[in-house]
Amino acid sequence: MHVIFMGTPDFSVPVLEALVDAGHEVAAVYCQPPRPAGRGKKDRPTPVHARAVELGLEVRHPVSLKTSEAQEEFAALNADIAVVVAYGLILPQVILDAPTKGCLNIHASLLPRWRGAAPIHRAIMAGDAETGICIMQMEAGLDTGPVLLREGTAIGEEETTAQLHDRLSEMGASLIVTALRHLDGLSPDVQPVEGVTYASKIDKAEARIDWSRPAVEVDRQIRGLSPFPGAWSELKGQRVKVLASRLAEGQGEPGEVLAENLTIACGSGAVELLRLQRAGKGAQDREIFLRGFAMKPGDSF
């Protein structure tokens, strides 16, 4: 097929690669513009931009798709279909209608649950047992279109957003190739009204750990916000991010260190901290962290 690809972050890269590997002709790649990053604040291309250049594909990064110029340039590609995954711009109706077969979105949840910006984070933070990928025919509404294909997967008891992100990215890449291969034979499944939830964008204010909450909620917060923005707490006057955890046995004052393996008491139950990061330092497994930051039972966050 003659395909327009629209995506921006790391999550989108395996999808672009899968389309190329499957033999589809990628007419152009649309992504967010390069933005200042790093210590020098030099413009850095997005992950999709960088990979598209390596693949020898044309890259476009308009600031908006609402201008007549951008819309005419898009239509002039005469695409059969557009594949959209974590692009970052709203697609006006004229853009949605331009490809012969419309626009397909790869969404990282089992719609209608977790429409919106942060479905992976929210699924873990809510304690969902399962999530997945939906291939959706795009409409003007936020993730409201009919679903053409879906595939579920269990969320691991200790899985972080980073780990689930990578698994779902690969699932999406595989599923879109299947969808395009069988597109004419797929029946759109209209989303039910019941069960709609919205995955609002993660606010950094959600990241501070409240140890008085039940351990199960603290554990979900830690895993759901890993690696970004990273759940954090103050320890000996320093801000420390906690990037991996699991539920543990124990009871004590909220925030109290119960054991040398960094089992921490919560409002009820306890969590065992597995990976941490001090301000200005890299992430470290618990054993390495403790070598430079000794903790003992009775200490507290």
**CA–CA dist 12, 95 (Å, integer):** 20
Backbone angles phi, psi at 198, to 5 degrees: -120, 130
Backbone angles phi, psi at 149, to 5 degrees: -145, 150
| 34 labeled part of a ligand binding site | no
Pairing relation of β-strands 2-7 and 81-85?
A: parallel
Cα–Cα–Cα angle for 262, 257, 228, rounded to 5 degrees = 55
Residue type, 198: Y
Pairing relation of β-strands 35-37 and 115-116?
A: unpaired
| 109 labeled part of a ligand binding site | yes
| 112 labeled part of a ligand binding site | yes
Backbone angles phi, psi at 58, to 5 degrees: -70, 135
Q: Could you tell me where the DSSP H helices lie in the chain?
A: 13-21, 47-54, 68-75, 93-97, 119-125, 161-181, 215-224, 286-292
Instruction: Assess contact for 225 and 183: CB atoms under 8 A.
Output: no
| 64 labeled part of a ligand binding site | no
Positions of E strands within the chain: 2-7, 25-30, 35-37, 42-44, 59-60, 81-85, 103-107, 115-116, 130-137, 147-154, 198-199, 231-235, 238-248, 257-259, 263-265, 270-278, 284-285
Instruction: Assess contact for 246 and 195: CB atoms under 8 A.
Output: no
Instruction: Assess contact for 193 and 153: CB atoms under 8 A.
Output: no
> Annotated binding site for (6S)-5,6,7,8-tetrahydrofolate: which residue ranges?
109-112
Known binding-site positions: 109-112
